[in-house]
Amino acid sequence: MLKIIVLILWIDGILSGNGNGEKCSHLFYKWISKSAKNSIPVCSRKSSLYGNVDLRESIKPSVFRDLTKKEIEGLLDYLYNRSDLNLTTADKKATNSNFIFISEVFLPPKKHVLKHLDTGYAQPRREARVMIFRGAISIPDVIEIIVSPLPNPTGYRHVPYRPKSIPFIDRPINVFDYNLRPMLEKIDKVAGKMLNELYGGRLVNCGDRCLTFSLNSQLTTPVSGVSKRLWFSWLYQFTEHFLLRPVDFAVLREVDNNGNVTITKIWFDGSFFDSLEDIVAYYNTYKEYINKVPFPTRTGKNDKSINSRGEPSFNKPLKDPSQVSPDGIRYNINDRHVSYSYWEFDVGMAVFYGPRLNDIRYKGDRIAYEISLQELANFYSGDKPQEHVLFFLDSMFKIGAYAKYLHPGVDCPNDATFISSSFKIDRKDEPLINDRAFCIFEFNTGMPLRRHNGYYWNLHRFYEGVANVVLIVRTIPTIGIYDYIIDFIFYQNGVIEVKITPTGIVTSSWHRHDNPYSFQVDKNLMSPIHQHLFNFKMDLDIKGTSNRFETIDIEPVVVDNICHKNPGATIVQDRFIKRLKHKELEAAFKFNFDFPKLLTFVNNNKKDKFGNSPGYKLLNKGMTKVVRPPNDGNNPAISWSQYQLAVTKYKDSEPYSSSVYTHSDNPVFTFQEFIDDNENIVDKDLVAWVTMGVFHVVHKEDLPVTHTPGLSQSTFLTPFNYFDESPGMSAGNAVRIDAVDVNGKTKTVEIERVGTKSDVNCIPEKTYYDELLKKNPCLAVQCL
């Protein structure tokens, strides 16, 4: 009875316009809300067909899967029992010992994998790539070997496309490059009193007022001209976040093959000095002219900590909108194989290079054999010597190992599925399993995938549209100061988007005077201009591996204007011309706005009834230009960055575009070599190497942490004469609304919903994330 009364009052109030409508509607919704708590069920995560998520390691892992726990354990058991390798365990390793640096899955030759996937041949055996530092042999070196078969190895061989022995001086960055304790004690003994007077802290025995050498940037052999491991170490006041607390002091140090550290130069008060004693003497002479910086305290105002502050954006705290999946999640995951709508693919993580997707199919057809991150690079410029040479290739720091700590409700939706990565690195003799390396979730973008409103009175009047709902595979590696949000986005019309968004803490240094490299963003604080560069590999297989790269060049053409009153009048039109690229050097693409073009990959052996070749178009919306000369300084290490796109013939010997040895004069390989052999690329298995990037001129709003809006860069792969019409026409839950006219007047509409009704009849499942973190803090922070 109460329900009827409330409903009648509400309707009566609206119809009578007596002012009670708003009051009654409030009562009605109050009742609805109360009833909802008692009657509306919690949304199920699983339906009969979808939501089947089994993340357990398969007994028979797929060819693409990361090493399993069982395989790593078998690998370590085999390696430590090989007397010829003479390996030291991780807890006892030293620079002058032999130890395992990394191990990860080694992918078989592509032709063997395709034979297995497409014709049913047996799966190639599982193998591991292992990098070993051999500091204990007479001439120390680095070796890379392939160990197989897993999980019970019986032998190993050298990686075929690597030298059998790599000089030890060229070894990748490792923990012994940061063994600074002896250096700290030496500096504190000679200059500790001076540093305390200037900056309010000490390097050792410092309590809560510590100074630290945190930012360490390598002075590479190509820049220094000497084959030594040289590092600039910058001094900071150790608070949150200390990288925004630089002081005018840095050291240039050398690390020898035994791990010993020698100070070669010191930067102080705008000049280089040869010794600590020289600095102390200079300070004692000019101390009254040198800037002193009190040690910072947490006052809550301008303390540069990363805590919410300022006037709240809403007067009353209100929960953010959140997404709900009323019928449960609509994808399935078996180990690391994901299927969603018409899409399916495998997910993996390379220890040096980061996320990798393999065997990406749409409607059963392989679109790409591999889409993977290759490098995250930062190149800086500044007014100090240590800024002149400051650059980071994040693969050297193991991008994959630092992809972890994804947080539900912020990094990913609450109902996302989290997937782990696994490999072995030098810290411990056990699998490194990052439980939250990836998250996978469906996302309603809030944009239509398509829509049209036909509103002309003399034509059919209708509306038709469907929401743009996508599947996102996300990972966020944090490499020291920067976090990179990397998304692989799958659309329901056969489009793939690869998106990257940087955020995190900017590199800062001491501001002495106005300069063309940075604005002053705070007292004594500048942050040098830098360029973010991102490289991705896209191994496309369009209707097979016989593909060609064609540009669709847009050009002006002058034609007769027969509509003009004057004979001989002309008008300019745009036309396109297909141009086939025959060799790799032709396909090294530098965008020129004076000559616009589309970039397409097609299979010329397959034709539709109109003679069109099916293909995919590559659209790089994150293009950037490197303005530094290609052979200057560290630029040869990133020769891929000279091209917004480069296309090469597939080779198993060219798995990555970036080398972890590029800090030396012996980089093992450079990407430019992939192009310079200038192979034929017509009707071949092709790989697209895509470069995106952005210049970052730091401003005050980048403090204390850079926010994401405006920084995203994307590359799209879109069908190009691949389908007879857009496959997005089959996307579910479309709506069509047609006018219904009676006697020349519109009386109502006819509504057709394809799929399900739009009603949401469940509430999201309650999350217990905070409670989970308190029991397992290692999901969120680095555990000691």
Catalytic residue ranges: 394, 482
User: What angle do helix axes 181-199 and 276-286 make, rounded to 10 degrees?
Assistant: 0
- Residue 440's SS3 state is strand
Residue 320 structure tokens: 């953010």
What is the Cα–Cα distance from 250 to 268, expressed in whole angstroms?
7
706 and 506 Cβ atoms separated by less than 8 Å:
yes
* 397 touches 479 (CB < 8 A): yes
Q: What is the largest CA-CA distance in the chain?
A: 101
Q: How many helices (H) and strands (E) does the chain have?
A: 10, 37
Contact criterion met (CB below 8 Å) for 497 and 489? yes
Contact between 492 and 728 under an 8 Å Cβ cutoff? The reply is yes
Assigned token pair, 304: 């540069």
Q: What does DSSP assign to residue 327?
A: T
What is the C-alpha R_g of the chain? 31
Q: Which residue has the tokens 């797929």?
A: 62
Structure tokens that stand for 292 in this block? 């002193």
Q: What are phi and psi of 207, to 5 degrees?
A: 60, -125
Please spell the DSSP secondary structure of 621-632, one letter per residue.
SS-----S-TTS
Comparing C-alpha atoms, which of 552, 635, 560 is closest to residue 596?
552
Residue 629, CB half-sphere, CA atoms under 13 Å: how many?
A: 3
Where is 249: in which H helix or E strand? Answer: strand 246-255
For residues 71 and 176, give the distance between their C-alpha atoms in angstroms, rounded to a whole number.
28
CA distance 155 to 158: 11
Which amino acid appears at position 353 of this protein?
Y
Tell me how far apart the alpha carbons of residues 332 and 339 are, in angstroms, rounded to a whole number: 5
Beta strands 53-54; 331-334: pairing state? parallel
Beta bridge partners of 475: 486
Which residue intervals of 200-240 are DSSP H helices? Answer: 221-224
Measure the N-to-C terminal CA separation of the chain; round to a whole number of Å.
63
Q: Which contacts qualify for 248-255: CB closer than 8 Å, 24 or more apart?
A: 248/291, 248/510, 248/512, 249/195, 249/199, 250/384, 250/386, 251/183, 251/187, 251/213, 252/219, 252/386, 253/183, 254/228, 254/229, 254/230, 255/176, 255/177, 255/179, 255/229, 255/231
Separation of alpha carbons 88 and 524, rounded Å: 47
